Structure 1
Amino acid sequence: MSGDIRPFECAMCGQCCANQDLIQLTSYELFRLAERLNVPPAELFSRYCEIGATSLNPMIHMYLRTVEQRCPFLDGKLCSVHDARPYACRAYPKRQAYLTAGEMKTFVRSRYPMLEPTCDLFGLDDTVEMIGDADVLTDQTIAYMTDELYFNTIRPEQVDLTVPYDVTDSFLRDGLVREIVLTYLARPYLGSLADTPLTGIIAMTLQARVWGAGVSFVRQPSDIAVQEDARIGQYLLAKTDATSVEALRALVESGRMDLGRAFFTTAADGKARISAVYASASDKVAIGFQLEADASAVERLTNGGARPAYVFFLPEDGSSTKAVGLAVGG
């Protein structure tokens, strides 16, 4: 009926499971599937998985290999690991919290035209509004973002799938993170999650985990200004809570801060975001922070990326006039 709002009901024809080149799988799902099958994750990966890019997705991800386009866990028309199936299968054919049946038909036809004769989706009026499972879509988005950042931004020399698994597990349990993801899923007009501070938070957490360190974060600064010094030129001065400043000071002045990584991104609103994380390998501790400034200002600060951006922190309550400084990037 036109104008209805309803969830998608799978007819269990099995055709979507029997007509796939590869099935996207995240590190988190690999461990869940390994537990379900009672096999070590490394063995499951070796037998069924590969990591790479595809013609449909140039970003590096992990995938389940199919056998003659059939999922290796398809038993007749049914899934033999249904309770631990990948998010891609759980969410099908939803990609957002709200889509019309017509929008979903267009997507499915573009990728899997062979499903049209059997999938119940094609029996619905195009105007029917389809409601996705909010929890599944939120879980899927967090797991996908974490894996994508691990493989394409962190680019580890030696892949350790426990890293994105642990980070995904922690963010799946974080109520604030879930709220942010769901907000963007339900309101696509807000833009892409890739342009939000969450991207940098996940990337910094992954980097700290690669270093084997626990990570804490400096509270978002209440004030950021461009200042100038005769010796170093222009720099950013940020004010935040005294506890964050003292924690950063302790790490910098310890003499054991020997690891650092920065991520520079530019948002659609012309703001440049600097995400940076620093650590002590011996102490196994890391501290990260994020700053946003005008993109043209960051361009000047770094001389077009040719030099690091100098950032100084002061406590906003005036408890100290001694700034903590770092050279970010470069």
Structure 2
Amino acid sequence: MHMKFLTVLRGWGARTLGALVTLVLTAGMVALVPSTAYAAASRGFAYVWANQASAPLNTPYTPASSYSRNSTGGVNTVVRTGVGQYTVRLPRLGLLGGTVHVTAYGATSHSCNVAYWLPVGDRLDVHVRCFTPSGFRADTRFTASFVNTAYLGGRFGYVWANQPTSGAYTPSATYQFNSAGATNTITRSSVGQYAVRLPAIGSAAGHVQATAYGDVAARCKVVNWYPSGTAQIANVRCFSLGGALRDTRFTLTYTRSTGILRITPAAYAWANQPISAAYSPATAYQYNSSGSTNRITRHGVGLYRFHTPNMPLGYGNVQVTAYGADSKHCKVDYWTPSTGIQVRCFTAAGAPTDTYYDVSFVR
């Protein structure tokens, strides 16, 4: 059975199967949907910095409170279930839907994926997998964020791209959102190459994050995004950890003038000058909810700092995705109020390299 299905059964425990009314089959995902809602918030968001890479197995810990938040007021926890395998537990957010992004944290060239997420009772469990460039699972710190929203207005959308070999399809309605109330679609042009279409929220501006999905040694990144008529097109490429294009599921979020969790304080930028010593990113593709202008400085090959004036960088969550058509990848190294957000970028083999990237902060 698929792991999502097993997780749901474990979470319901003694609940009677008579309460089940729908069997959902979506691109390999099998989940049973209960006839009544969980005792959970209808919508919400959460984030964590999973700061204990080698925590004792199967022993929950509470991550640093300054870098962990749950819109319901619940206390998030993290469990290490094996080498490079983690479960982020988000109390009172246990509903189907929403989207997740994950970024590896630290100075190594490791990367992390979201493996899957599902409700367990009134809790949402987000499963994460982390790898070395050679494809071996590895213990590492990471950041993770989750949002499930129904608020219309503005320019915001997300998808779970759940059919990696389909030529054209509508991704899971449960795991997609469009702030104009429209239906997002995806087309595949070739192996590992996808275009996400978000109708009615097109703009030559904004921000995109992408994360590979599944217990697979893969990475996904943003190639570009642009308006097409009134729609927003976001192109994505996915690669094996060795750098070859491969078909892979992924999550993607597009936002303009708000954070990727639809909250503020928030800041983002498209880092579009990879060899410049210091610059302000393109105005249309940067945002700072305080009204300040963000800046980026380069401190070595593939080593950058994102400076976000008046943002509370002693707190919050950071997500990073590389930008461009090649197999380079990026991650967050650390962030502090005095240094800003430090980002590192690597070749597929793990060598530092200069490249474009997208970086996002929310508090």
With normalisation by structure 2, the TM-score equals 0.24
Pick the structure with more helix per residue.
Answer: 1
With normalisation by structure 1, the TM-score equals 0.26
Pick the structure with more strand per residue.
Answer: 2
